Structure 1
Amino acid sequence: WDALLEAGAPFGIRPFGLEPQRVLRLQKMHILVGQDTDSESTPFAAAMPWIVKLDKEEDFIGRWALERYSSDTPATTLVGFTLADGQAPTEGAVVLDGAHAPIGQVTSSRFSPVLGRVIGMAWVPAGLASDGERVTIADQDRTLRAEVRTKPFYDPEGEVLRS
């Protein structure tokens, strides 16, 4: 451990824990299977159609189901959201429609020091899965206004990753 830290010192390498990893993955809108998805989720509804390669000739487990789902319009979609200020909503907080009926659920949220605001992911009706849409989040005794994002919050085009 000491040798690793010493070798990495010129590069600014420092130890970090699980919380920074969670913030980093949220900034790129990378899902945590089992937290942001469940057994009913598909890559298409989770805004990850690029992960499915149906044009490959090789067969694979689950191909039939994915082919079926690929032509369906999902009822709900996993999106990102931002809050201008305030505390991150609790995971599991409820997304409400204009009549305050439950329509979705927050799966992950954290404050991003790099972005200077709260970011998160939530399942919402597919009709609300557009950049700039506004949604209401009910979290315990708070009502929060959030803005929907469909691309990663940080480096959405992957330029930093490829530099």
Structure 2
Amino acid sequence: MKNSKPEVWLRGPLPNIPLLLQPAAHALLQSSEEVERYLLNFPKDQLWTKIAGHASVGFHLQHITGVLDRMITYAKSEPLSDLQFDYLSKEGQLNDGITTTELVKAFQHKVEEALSFFKTLDEDTLKETRTVGRKKLPSTTLGLLFHAAEHSQRHVGQLLVTISILTLSKD
């Protein structure tokens, strides 16, 4: 599954994204591309399979979408909605009604939404204090958006390992 293009961060700055958010934007786009590439033709019957008790591909896809959505909400200094809490409670639950393609598209849509949000921010906004969760743990706009990007990358790595094990065991 070779990619002919260089990694996203080596393709240059993204237009209208603040300089300090370029690494986060690059990481999110890289995650989006890798998820699409590695899940092309992924068997639907393996979407919720856990290996040795570890998270399924379906969980990782739901989770990276949900975390990105929640971090954007906190970065906007807004509380989570009932819909977001409901989504969180269902992350990783077997859902035969959803396809791999739908989960990939949902993540890609959330990445696009995040990048649109990035374009609305200036350097001063990035330094503003923000809080996380019901406990209102301290962060900043920049901290939240960086976490969203690195968290996505971490789960995409785990997802890719899970995919490789599942598809190798099919051979």
State the TM-score, normalized to the length of structure 2.
Answer: 0.22
State the TM-score, normalized to the length of structure 1.
Answer: 0.23
More helix by share: 2
Larger radius of gyration: 1
More strand by share: 1
